[in-house]
Amino acid sequence: MRRRGAGHGWGWWLPQIALLLALAGLVLVVARTVSDNMERQDMVLSLGFLRSTAEFPIAESFLAYAPGDTIAWAFVVGLGNSIALTLLIIVLSTMAGVPVALARHSGHMLARTLAGGFVDLVRNVPLVVQLLFWYGVILMAFPPARAAAQPLPGLFLTNRGITVTTVGITGTALPMIATVMGGLTLTLVAAWRGRLHQASLYTLGTIVAGSVLWVVLDLGLARDVPHFDRFNFSGGLTLTPEFVAVVWGSVIYASAFAAEILRSGLDGVPRGQWEASRALGLSKRQSLRLVIVPQALRMIVPPMNSQFITILKNSTLALVVGYPDLNFVANTAINHTGQGLEGVAILMLVFFTLASAISLAMNRLNARVQRAGA
Amino acid sequence: MRYVRTAPEPVRPAPPRPKRPALRSIVSGGANLLTTAIIVLFAIRAVPHLLSWAVTHGVWNGDGDACRDAGACWAFLRAKMPFILFGIYPEAERWRPILVVLILGAATLWSLPRAHWTRATLGLWGVAIVASLLLMAGGRLGLSPVPTSAWGGLPITMLLTIFSLALGFPLGIVLALARRSDMPVYRWTATALIEVMRAMPLVTLLFVASVMAPLLLPAGVTADNLTRALVAFVLSSSAYIAEVVRGGLQGVPPGQQESARALGLGRSTVLLSIILPQAIRKALAPLTSTVVVIIKNSSLVLVVGLFDLLSAGRVSLNDPAWPTPYAETYLVIALIYFVICYGFARYALHLERTTQGGERRP
C-alpha cells in the first residue's frame, strides 16, 4: 500500500499533523479536567502514599506480609501472588492439556467423545462462573475440619482448605540445596541449547554431588504431619479454599484451550509426514520426536503466547472468590488511601510489563522452534 | 474437433478412509481396553453419587426447610429464577425485561441466515435496540421510569454484548485500517491503543473505568455504573475486533486494490466497496467467535456491582430463608451461558465451513 517514490505530498502530511494536534488537544483537555477535579477534591498527585503504612490485611500470600508494612510492599506481595498464580496455572494447564488433546486425537471413541464434550463445555461457560462454582463445591461438599476426609494418608480435605503433610530437611542444608539448584540450572541450560548428552551428564553429577553432601552434612528428613486440635489443623501445609478454587478452576478452563491449541498443532502436520518418516525407516517414536513434534511446535507456540497472556489476565478473576492478587490489593489500597490515579497507573504499568515479558519469552521460544531444522 | 476442455472435470469424492467401527475401537487392543476400563470404573463410582444428589435426594418443591440436609436444592432455583433472570427490576414491571429479552433474542435469531443480511435487518436492529432501551428505562409512553441501577439479569448481559458489538465494530474497523495505514502517526496511535487494551485484564479496565470516571468527567457530569462498564467493554472489544478485521484485510489479495485503482476508482471507493466487504466476509467466522468472548466477558461486570445474570444469582444466595445451594445455582447459570455461547460457537463453525473454499460465485 505504501506509495513509492521520494517525498510525500500534503495529502500524506496534513492528516497526520491533524491527528497529532487532535491527540495533543485531547491530552490537554483530559489533563485540565483531571487536575481541576483533583483540586476540587483536595487530592494531590504523589507516589508518597506508597511509603505510608498499609492498614489492611492480605488474607494469604507467598511473600511475608502483615498489616503495618508499607503500601509499596503490599503491592509487591500482591504482585507476588499474581505471578505465582499465573505461573502455576500456565504450567499445570499446559500439562493437563496434553492428555485431553491426545484423547481428542485418539481412535478410542469413548475417550474422544468425552474429551470433546469436556472442551466444548468448559470453553463456553465464563471462567467467573466456573470459579464460583468450584469455590461453592469446596465450601459445600468438603466436610468440616473435625470430620476431615482423608483420601490419601497425610492429605486432608476440609471446607477450610486442603491440608497436606510436608517433608522438611533437618540440619544445615543450604550448601546441598545450592549445589542441587546450580546443577539443575546447568542441566536446563544445556537441554535448552539442545545438548542432551551434556545435560544428562550434569544430571548425573548433580545427583552424585547432592548425595555426597547429604551424607557429609549429616542431613535428615522430618515429616510435618498435620494434626487436628480442637478447631482446626495445625502443622503441614494448608491450601486455602480460595487458592484451591482459583487454581483448580483456572487450570480446568485453561487446559481446554491448551488442548485445542495442541490438537490443532498435531492436526496441522500432514499425514504424509507420518507415512514418509515411517517409510524412511524411522521408528514410531523417532518419527514423533524428530519429524512430527518439531513441525507441530511451530504451529503451537504462537497461539500459546496469546493463551499465556490470557491466563495472566484471567488471574485477576481470583478476586471474585477473594484470593488477594495484585488487582485485589490495588483495589483495597486505593479504597484506603484515595490515591486512585496513581494506583491505577501502577496497575496498568505492571500488567503491561508482565504481558510484554510473556510475549518476549514466547517470541524467543518461537524463534528457536521456527529455526530448528528449517 | 476440440482440443480445449470447455467444462471442468467433475470433482470426484476422495476415496473413503478405512473407518474403524466405533465398538471395536473401545474393546480391541490392550491400551484401548484399559482406557475403557478406567472410564467405566470412574463412571460406576461417580454417576450413582451424582444421581442420588441431583435426583433421588434432590428437592424439587417446597421451601428452605425442605432443602436442609437433603441433596440438590432445585426448589431454590424455581423460587429464585425470576430474580436471577431479571434482577431487582420492579416486580410489577417485570413484563418489560421479559419483552426485551424476547425482542433481542428474536432479532438475533432472525439475523442468523445469510439471506437476512440486508439493510432492512440493520434497520430492524435499530428499532429493536431503541425499543429495548425505551422499555427498560421507561419514563415515556406511560411507562414508569426505572433507573439503570435497578436493571438486572439477562437483559443486562444482552444489552452489554450488543452495545459492545455495535459500538466496538465501527471503532474496530477504524483502528484496523489505521494500523495498516502508510501514515506512521496513525499506525503508531492505533497499534498503541490496540496493544494496551489487549494487555489489560478486563477486570482492571472495569476497575480503571470506575476509578477514573469521576476524575475524567467535567464537574457536574456523572456517569452511572452501567455507562462506565460499557465504555470499558466497548474499548476492549474494539481492540479485539480490530485484530480480527486486520486479519481479514490481510487476506484480501493486493491485486484487488491494484486492479480497482487501475479501473479508475477513487481511494475511498476502493476501500469501502472493494476491500472492506471482502475483508469483513473473511473475518465473519472469527468475529462470531469474538461474540462468544464478549458474552463470557459480560459476566465480569459483577466486580463493579452491576446486576447481570451472575451477580443476581450470587445475591440470591444471600437469602437467609434458604440454605446456600452454590453448586446448583452456578450450574444453572453456567447452563444458560453455555446454551448461548455454544450456539454462537456452532454458528461460527457453520460460517467458517460455508465461507471456506473462496468467495461464493453468483
Which residues between 312 and 371 in chain A have a beta carbon less than 8 angstroms from any beta carbon of chain B? 312-317, 319-320, 327, 330-331, 334, 340-341, 343-344, 347-348, 351-352, 355-356
Which residues between 141 and 200 in chain B have a beta carbon less than 8 angstroms from any beta carbon of chain A? 180-186, 189, 196, 198-200
Report the alpha-carbon distance of residue B119 to residue A314 in Å, rounded: 38
Residues from chain A contacting residue B314 (CB–CB below 8 Å):
132
Any bridge partners for residue A166, and if so which?
A: A224
* Shortest CA distance from B311: residue in chain A: A129
pLDDT at position B19 is 64
Confidence check: pLDDT of A220 > 80: no
pLDDT at position A128 is 92
**What is the mean predicted confidence (pLDDT) over A171-196?**
82
Angle of helix B154-179 versus helix B225-251 axis, rounded to 10: 40
The residues, any chain, with a CB within 8 Å of residue B5's CB and separated by 6 or more, are: none
Range of the domain at B168: 146-355
Q: Is residue B4 part of a domain?
A: no
Confidence check: pLDDT of A87 > 60: yes
Whether chain B has a CB inside 8 Å of the CB on A14: the answer is no
CATH number for the domain spanning B161: value is 1.10.3720.10
pLDDT at position B360 is 45
What does the pLDDT look like over A22-47, one tens digit per residue?
999 999 988 888 888 877 777 777 77
pLDDT at position A175 is 81
pLDDT at position B88 is 79
Angle at CA of residue A88, ends A366 and A209, nearest 5° = 85
- Neighbouring C-alpha atoms within 13 Å toward the C-beta of B9: 4
Q: Is residue B239 part of a domain?
A: yes
- pTM for the full predicted model: 0.84
Q: Name the residue with higher pLDDT: A217 or A252.
A: A252
Confidence of residue A228 (pLDDT cuts 50, 70, 90): low
The grid coordinates of residue B10 equal 467433475
The residues, any chain, with a CB within 8 Å of residue B33's CB and separated by 6 or more, are: B27
Could you give the number of structural domains in chain B?
A: 1
Torsion angle, alpha carbons of A334, A324, A306, B176, to 10: -20
**What is the mean predicted confidence (pLDDT) over A350-360?**
88
Q: Is residue B5 part of a domain?
A: no
Any bridge partners for residue A192, and if so which?
A: none
Report the alpha-carbon distance of residue B235 to residue A126 in Å, rounded: 20
Q: Which of A132, A129, A249, A246 is nearest to B335 (CA)?
A: A129
Per-residue model confidence as pLDDT tens for chain B (362 residues):
667 777 888 888 877 766 666 666 666 667 778 888 888 888 888 888 888 777 777 777 777 677 777 777 787 778 778 888 888 788 777 888 888 889 888 888 888 888 878 888 888 888 888 888 888 887 777 778 878 777 878 888 888 889 998 899 999 999 999 988 888 889 899 988 888 888 888 888 888 888 887 777 777 777 788 888 888 899 999 998 998 898 888 888 888 888 988 998 888 888 888 888 888 888 888 888 888 888 898 888 888 878 888 888 888 888 777 777 888 888 889 999 999 999 988 888 888 887 654 444 43
pLDDT at position A364 is 84
pLDDT at position B286 is 83
Contact A128, B295 (CB under 8 A): no
Q: Which amino acid is at A230?
A: R
Report the alpha-carbon distance of residue B255 to residue B265 in Å, rounded: 14
Nearest-Cα distance to chain B for A144, in Å, is: 15
Q: Which of B125, B205, B123 is nearest to B165 (CA)?
A: B125
Ranges of each domain in chain A:
71-141+239-371
Residues from chain A contacting residue B302 (CB–CB below 8 Å):
128, 320
Q: Name the residue with higher pLDDT: A117 or B60.
A: A117
Q: Is residue B68 part of a domain?
A: no
Residue showing cell 475440619: A145
Which residues between 311 and 330 in chain B have a beta carbon less than 8 angstroms from any beta carbon of chain A? 314, 324-327, 329-330
Q: Name the residue with higher pLDDT: A309 or A373.
A: A309
Q: What is the mean pLDDT of chain A?
A: 83
Residues from chain A contacting residue B327 (CB–CB below 8 Å):
133, 136-137, 140-141
Q: Is residue B299 part of a domain?
A: yes
Contact A151, B45 (CB under 8 A): no
Q: Which amino acid is at B191?
A: T
Q: Is residue B61 part of a domain?
A: no
Which residues between 112 and 171 in chain A have a beta carbon less than 8 angstroms from any beta carbon of chain B? 114, 120-121, 123-130, 132-133, 135-137, 139-141
Q: What is the CA radius of gyration of chain A?
A: 27
Report the 3 state secondary structure along chain A: CCCCCCCCCHHHHHHHHHHHHHHHHHHHHHHHHHHHHHHHCCCCCCHHHHHCECCCCCCCCCCCCCECEEHHHHHHHHHHHHHHHHHHHHHHHHHHHHHHHHHHHCCCHHHHHHHHHHHHHHHCCCHHHHHHHHHHHHHHHCCCHHHCEEEECCEEEECCEEEECEEEEECCCHHHHHHHHHHHHHHHHHHHCCCHHHHHHHHHHHHHHHHHHHHHCCCEEEEECCEEECCEEECCEEECHHHHHHHHHHHHHHHHHHHHHHHHHHHHCCHHHHHHHHHCCCCHHHHHHHHHHHHHHHHHHHHHHHHHHHHHHHHHHHHHHCCCCHHHHHHHHHHHHCCHHHHHHHHHHHHHHHHHHHHHHHHHHHHHHHHCCC
Q: What is the CA radius of gyration of chain B?
A: 26
The residues, any chain, with a CB within 8 Å of residue A253's CB and separated by 6 or more, are: A93, A122, A123, A127, A130, A314
Report the alpha-carbon distance of residue A59 to residue A319 in Å, rounded: 12
Domain A71-141+239-371 has CATH 1.10.3720.10: yes
Q: Which amino acid is at A127?
A: L
pLDDT at position B16 is 75
Q: Is residue B255 part of a domain?
A: yes
Report the alpha-carbon distance of residue A126 to residue B300 in Å, rounded: 9
Contact between chains at A132 and B218 (C-beta distance less than 8 A) = no
- Reported ipTM: the value is 0.84
pLDDT at position A7 is 67
pLDDT at position B27 is 66
Report the alpha-carbon distance of residue B187 to residue B189 in Å, rounded: 6
Residues from chain A contacting residue B202 (CB–CB below 8 Å):
313
